[in-house]
Structure 1
Amino acid sequence: MGNVLRLLGKCCNPSPQEEGQSLGPHGVTYPTPGVAVLAHDLFHFDNTGEVPDGLSRHVVSSKKAQANWYKKLVGAWKEAKPPPKSPEAASKLIIETLRRHRKEDVEGVLAFYGLPATDAITGVGQGLPLSLPGVKLQFTTLPVDTKDVADGDTITVYVDTKEARESAQVPDSVRNAVTRRSKELAKKNYAEANALQKQIFKAGYRVSNGPNGDILARKYRIRLRGIDAPESSMPYGAEAKEALRNLVGGNSLEIHVYEEDQYGRSVADVYCNGIFVQEFMLKKGLAWHYVAYDRRPQFAKWEKEAQVTRIGLWASSDPEKPWEWRKDNRRGV
């Protein structure tokens, strides 16, 4: 943690020319004290596991997610050569380390330290990117029902149609069915209301109860990008499904869709409270790196770590690969 210690002396000793400037969230002046305070907070987290007070007022994710960010930031800071000394360099480190997390959270962390959210990201002052390269669609889901986890790499999720993009795409037939269903329920005509609910569901939507009334949500079937979990009837298939259920159940997910597969599923990277779901499954030894469709080196690294420790399916000396299992079963072998 030597990089952090070298910056601690700046934290509480602003230079004379900084006197009288506006104060940041830690009661120190901009611009360089923000870097020093970040260093101080990372040093403090590395020793205590505590995130700084007041951060929650700037971000939207939980304390658990915040701790995950700071763990990553500590690692990135230790590896940085040289360590960040300017606001721009500190911003770049934060953005690159947390780039897969929610945009609102990354912006909130930067604002918390009074760090810029423009040039350090793209070099042309365009601000935070709305999505990563290759991402075609990005959204946050409603809390996931555990019954909607099909197996270790497939989840059905729902998105509130109050979001502007979703609202513009709801078919008139669905809107009309929702209105008619409400009227039938008011008249206690439950048979007709249930028939309309089935019509809505068949169109790829559902109506559920929310704290402020009914919620119309659009359905997405998500295939976790870059991994292949054991099929349900394979060894560790049940364990993979249960692990994924325990992770995402009851939580809203951040979804980055890259493409649609031949079965109409959205192939996506998925994040749950700051946890990269594919990383979680690979490190638990409950999925293979799907090399035929994804060559990301970190996936290979996480799979290798699980193999070395013989965790999960790697307890077997020669576990059957799910893509080979599917091929054999299609042939009736």
Structure 2
Amino acid sequence: MGNALRYLCGDCLSPQTSEGAHEVIPGSTGFDLLARDLFQFENTAQVPEGLSQHVDALKKTQATWYKKILAAWKEDPPSNAEQAAILIVRTLQKQQKVHVQGLLAFYGLPYPIATTQAPEDTAQKWPQEVKYEFHTLQVDARAVLDGDSINVYVDTKSPRESAVVPISVQEATIERHEARARKDYARADPLKEQIESAGYRVFDANRNGDDVLARKYRIRLRGVDAPEGKQPYGKEAREALLNLVEGKCLRILVYGEDRYGRTVGDVYTRDVFVQEVLLKQGWVWHYTHYDKRPEFAEWQKQARAARVGIWASSNPQKPWDWRKERREGIAIETFA
């Protein structure tokens, strides 16, 4: 194939195992493996043997799929797992859905639900600028950092996550499970640290007796700014957020990341919009520098008129001003 695909594949262009299943390559993902197989298909016209375990189509039919996917890839190369999944679904839209799903499952790629929805449905589902959404596991008290930040975990079995779990993390998870079954905690504990250092966590034994591998995200509530912990009302703001999310699974609409690597999003518990409640209760400021939504301004206005939360004070200090003062104070001490 072209140099672009060869460069993308890199070390993932090693041969398949004798059984035809994908060779385990540390750090590679389903996206890498698909790129490798397309490269090999162009050079050998052979499809992966292991695919027949996921689809019941003839090899000739599978080869036709790969030929079409290869042509589409060359025309508009995807850069991540989601884009690759969308390319496959669009390219094979006339094939049986079960076959497309089997092909995606073979590579652990997410099924791109959004491609089956009309544009107007998507627009109604998400506010403008939202990139995607995810659903979290239950939130515990320690996860609430302050009045506008939460650590959450997302099950890697979800379509979006399953395609990007590093193979090294998958292997460590399996080995840890086996070590714990043998009560070999001297081996299991370092593996736990390895998994967590990669940004994941294993939750032991759910209702079905299975371990749950989840990815960690630090969430920054979009459009609001809470008093810092050492500010007046800082503890109360954290408590208010904790009361809203503790023990609940959250739905988060993601806008992107901030400069600290936090995921910026709108947070919901069922049909409750968390930012709305915090603004109406008066525990956060509308952060107009980053968010211009008029409803946020209106909710803050209501709380201020009712003198609730931080507005019980006649002149509460804005969190961004408080932080600026501390930064400038440190600078003065440093250069004094």
* Residue 310 of structure 1, aligned match among 274, 297, 307: 307
How is 1:155-170 mapped onto 2 (pairs within 5 angstroms)? Answer: 155-170=150-165
* Residue 229 of structure 1, aligned match among 226, 230, 243: 226
Give the secondary structure class of the aligned counterpart of 1:199. helix
Matched, 1:186 2:181: yes
Q: Which residue identity lines up with residue 238 of structure 1 in the other structure?
A: K
Name the residue aligned to 1:90: none
Matched, 1:128 2:121: yes
Matched, 1:246 2:243: yes
Name the residue aligned to 1:211: 207
Q: Identify if the C-alpha distance between structure 1 residues 139 and 316 changes in structure 2 by more than 3 Å, giving closer, same or farther.
A: same
- Could you list the runs of 5+ residues in structure 2 that have no partner in the other structure? 1-116, 331-336
Q: Identify if the C-alpha distance between structure 1 residues 321 and 125 changes in structure 2 by more than 3 Å, giving closer, same or farther.
A: closer
* Residue 281 of structure 1, aligned match among 249, 255, 278: 278
Q: Which residue identity lines up with residue 286 of structure 1 in the other structure?
A: W
The alpha carbon displacement at 1:125 in A equals 6.0
Give the secondary structure class of the aligned counterpart of 1:206. strand
Give the secondary structure class of the aligned counterpart of 1:256. strand
Residues 240-259 of structure 1: CA deviation (Å, up to 9, x unaligned) = 11111111011111100101
Matched, 1:147 2:164: no
The alpha carbon displacement at 1:128 in A equals 2.0
What is the CA–CA distance in structure 2 between the aligned matches of 1:191 and 1:286, rounded to whole Å?
45
The alpha carbon displacement at 1:171 in A equals 0.2
The alpha carbon displacement at 1:137 in A equals 2.0
Q: Which residue identity lines up with residue 315 of structure 1 in the other structure?
A: A
Q: Which moved more, 1:185-194 or 1:283-292?
A: 185-194
TM-score (norm 2): 0.61
What is the CA–CA distance in structure 2 between the aligned matches of 1:289 and 1:133, rounded to whole Å?
18
Name the residue aligned to 2:323: 326
What is the CA–CA distance in structure 1 between the aligned matches of 2:176 and 2:118, rounded to whole Å?
49
What is the CA–CA distance in structure 1 between the aligned matches of 2:308 and 2:119, rounded to whole Å?
44
* Residue 299 of structure 1, aligned match among 292, 296, 302: 296
Q: Which residue identity lines up with residue 207 of structure 2 in the other structure?
A: P
The alpha carbon displacement at 1:191 in A equals 2.5
Q: List, as ranges, runs of 4+ consecutive aligned residues in structure 1 with deviation greater than 4 Å.
A: 124-127
The alpha carbon displacement at 1:184 in A equals 1.2
Give the secondary structure class of the aligned counterpart of 1:317. coil
Name the residue aligned to 2:71: none
- Could you list the runs of 5+ residues in structure 1 that have no partner in the other structure? 1-123
Residues 16-66 of structure 1: CA deviation (Å, up to 9, x unaligned) = xxxxxxxxxxxxxxxxxxxxxxxxxxxxxxxxxxxxxxxxxxxxxxxxxxx
Percent sequence identity is 56
What is the CA–CA distance in structure 1 between the aligned matches of 2:216 and 2:258, rounded to whole Å?
16
Q: Which residue identity lines up with residue 160 of structure 1 in the other structure?
A: D
What is the CA–CA distance in structure 1 between the aligned matches of 2:319 and 2:187, rounded to whole Å?
43
Q: Which residue identity lines up with residue 161 of structure 2 in the other structure?
A: E
- Whose helix proportion is higher, 1 or 2? 2
Matched, 1:269 2:266: yes
What is the CA–CA distance in structure 2 between the aligned matches of 1:126 and 1:256, rounded to whole Å?
17
Name the residue aligned to 1:197: 192
What is the CA–CA distance in structure 2 between the aligned matches of 1:201 and 1:255, rounded to whole Å?
22
Matched residue count: 210
Q: Which residue identity lines up with residue 325 of structure 1 in the other structure?
A: W
What is the CA–CA distance in structure 1 between the aligned matches of 2:295 and 2:128, rounded to whole Å?
17
Q: Which residue identity lines up with residue 152 of structure 1 in the other structure?
A: G
How is 1:55-74 mapped onto 2 (pairs within 5 angstroms)? Answer: none
Q: Identify if the C-alpha distance between structure 1 residues 136 and 125 changes in structure 2 by more than 3 Å, giving closer, same or farther.
A: closer
